[in-house]
Chain A
């Protein structure tokens, strides 16, 4: 009798112990499987969301060219189909890469995409589409976090290898995975014509073509450019449908210069601010004289100038209530580059601003940083922005947790 009881006790104890052990083991397998399923679901969601952004123009379809807040989010160029994005819708995305800039005369903060000194794109917060609005429009608010990166496929890097006359510049052209060998590089060289103090500088330009070698390098020589001359170079590398853009400036006036600020997409208006008004706010400084031109890329990779009103003038800083910026109206919605040559105290320079993100192949980083998230799904597409090849990458993560701890 006692042996039977002990037998029962031992067997029940062993059985319960084994049962708990197996439940734990099975639960672990199930939990892992569910987690995998959710990660796969996240990847599918990422792909769908990316296509949703890239294959619809949004509502209204031309929101990139207006000052309105869209009621439907999409980046497709409304005049095209497939993966062709609007260069203006991309301009209106609030950049998460650059440090925001505050400009006191307009009492506004500006979303900042600045690609080195002299290459500015500053869009007021009031016109930029922010992350939370976009998340709501996409229906992922509080459920998913994302970061959308749109960067050019072709990178054209330009460096000076000989600064004195003759000027020698070296170009490196690379894609995302391979150097662009035997590519044609069409370039435009802009050189300031120094006209002396109290006058707006003009510039002369000329065009030429060169080719990259097997490693994607090209070199060009420009005569009659001295060490003290200011210039800008814009280069277009192209091969078999792929087009990339690079630019380089040499300036002598780093202290006082012009900063262009987008003021209205609808009215195509840009403000030209004095650099001291933006960065220094110190005692009065010399005025900056400027000469603005708007150029568009033609099919043969030369630049065509479009006439603008009030293209020359001066920007005064630190004179009490005097107006501290100038207005400029871009003459068209065709993408192009606003080229501003400036002079202050006989120091010269160039400032470039893309009108349409693709004109200078500016990248866009929009959304939150995925760093530290438990699992991030990514997907990418090749896209075209006004003829320039870009890659769109979406990083997506869940904000709801997985809730599978058994």
Chain B
């Protein structure tokens, strides 16, 4: 009998345990099991209402304005009947205000928000707010940071039809000067000689010839200082007699200077270094197309430049063509990304008739950025870094855009910015009276 009583006691204990555990193990209501994601619905509703900035306009209007009633109609219309809402608008305070948010207006379509609710907030800015962007300066955390734009008054350009080198230089200055520590216009070929010699040409303390960027705005032509011309003191560094195009030697010197000073040399359009120009020395020579002040270097110019960049001694005259005509080319994914980042929007496809061949990579060049997608063995636009074999140090760079005329200098700016990637610091838009916070709280009604 005793055993039976014990068993009964055990049963009572287990029953108690079951009842107690059942009491605590309350199963949730079905609605909580499979809920609508009210937070995301609220956010997507606010985004829908702001598709044409209608929400942004309305919340800055006086609360007696009929736009508030229209907003309420729109919210009621776009939410399912079993979802109730409360929309509240706050003004974002700033400065010395004690409150972070100040209540502006609120409306709802129900007394309460049912058994379950969730909310999303959406920050809108007044349409009369001006935003500021402060770019990081290239070279601020290291060497360089100087941009030289060739603006030589004693040279002529080619393949920049419709522009002058000076007008392009002015546009490039406006586009790129915010991103560099010092932006300096090289006003004549004498100043070009100075920087080639490693000397400063301005009184700016930030000017640094080493690691600078040099943009040749003269298209397929490059200015040549007088001293490098035939009959002048540095003739041996600019003139190579006995060949069809003797001024290719100057391009070799330019390549050497690019390597020695670790410049980034920028060719904005066409066949790089196809002519040299000095309107004083070559006053009576024209380029077969009626443009005076020029001497052709032909296809050997870029070959000579690359030889100098790669420190190949001695200079070998070579006029072998190294470009191709891939036709329509497209911006690379990286360049497209930076279009949005920097707000520069050239046409995503261009025509390339002077794309450099991949064979130039033999000059110890590495492509660090494709501005345009490679087409077969041709690279329509890219930044090449020169690094000697077995070394890690960069010794010069080349940005070459082998596009047909006329040039779009936005592509040059895009290529440089995509390469250097200066950050943009956008100003916060929390100035008093310019930002409002819209909070949409949703709840479900009906059923359990």
Contacts and interface: CB of A to CB of B under 8 A. Distances in A.
B78 A176 contact: yes
A308 to B, nearest CB: 23
A389 B50 CA distance: 11
Interface stretch (B28-36, B248-256, B293-301, B313-321): B28-36
Interface in B96-130: none
Interface in A359-401: 375, 377-384, 387, 389, 391
A153 B2 CA distance: 74
B67 A240 contact: yes
Contact of A22 (B8, B14, B83): B14
Contact of A389 (B37, B41, B48, B71): B48
Interface string A182-219: 11000000000000000000000000000000000000
Nearest to B58: A240
Interface string B40-79: 1100110111111011001000000001011101101111
B73 A181 contact: yes
A240 B25 contact: no
Given A14-B4, A387-B52, A380 B14 contact: no
Please classify the interface of chain B as helix (H, G, I), strand (E, B), loop, or mixed, using the class held by over half of its residues.
helix
B18 interface: yes
A2 to B, nearest CB: 12
Taking each of B22, B44, B49, B50, which has the highest tally of chain A beta carbons within 10 Å of its own beta carbon? B44
A380 B444 CA distance: 13
Interface stretch (A36-44, A96-104, A164-172, A248-256): A36-44
B81 interface: yes
A146 to B, nearest CB: 15
Taking each of B33, B35, B50, which has the highest tally of chain A beta carbons within 10 Å of its own beta carbon? B33
B33 A39 contact: yes
A10 interface: yes
A267 interface: no
Nearest to A44: B37
A309 interface: no
B47 A384 contact: yes
Contact of B77 (A82, A175, A377): A175
A392 to B, nearest CB: 9
B7 A15 contact: yes
A240 B52 CA distance: 9
A279 B195 CA distance: 79
Contact of B79 (A12, A25, A177): A177
Nearest to A391: B78
- For chain A, give the interface size range: 35 or more
Interface string B143-180: 00000000000000000000000000000000000000
B448 interface: no
A226 interface: no
B70 A240 contact: yes
A83 B73 contact: no
A7 B71 CA distance: 79
Given A36-B28, A240-B74, A43 B33 contact: yes
A7 B36 contact: no
B50 to A, nearest CB: 6
Given A11-B7, A14-B11, A175 B76 contact: yes
B51 A384 contact: yes
Nearest to A388: B51
Given A7-B2, A29-B25, A47-B40, A14 B45 contact: no
Nearest to A32: B27
B75 to A, nearest CB: 8
A169 B33 CA distance: 47
Nearest to B71: A240
A176 B67 contact: no
Contacts of B7: 11-12, 14-15, 18
Nearest to B28: A36
Contact of A36 (B2, B18, B27, B36): B27
Contact of A180 (B44, B47, B73): B73
A36 B78 CA distance: 31
B133 interface: no
Nearest to A384: B51
B3 interface: yes
A153 to B, nearest CB: 5
Contact of A177 (B27, B47, B48, B77): B77
B428 interface: no
Given A178-B77, A383-B44, A15 B10 contact: yes
B54 to A, nearest CB: 3
B107 to A, nearest CB: 13
Interface of A: 3, 7-8, 10-12, 14-15, 18-19, 22, 25-26, 29, 32-33, 36, 39-40, 42-43, 47, 51, 82-83, 153-154, 174-183, 239-242, 375, 377-384, 387, 389, 391
Given A7-B3, A11-B7, A176-B78, 10 more contacts: A8-B3, A29-B21, A47-B37, A239-B73, A239-B74, A240-B54, A242-B49, A380-B80, A384-B47, A384-B51
28 contacts: A3-B1, A7-B1, A7-B4, A10-B4, A14-B11, A18-B7, A19-B14, A29-B25, A33-B25, A40-B33, A83-B48, A153-B78, A154-B78, A174-B77, A175-B76, A176-B79, A179-B77, A180-B73, A183-B73, A239-B74, A240-B73, A241-B54, A242-B77, A375-B34, A381-B40, A382-B45, A384-B48, A389-B51
Shortest beta-carbon contacts, A-B, top 8: A175-B77, A241-B54, A11-B3, A240-B74, A178-B76, A382-B44, A43-B34, A11-B7
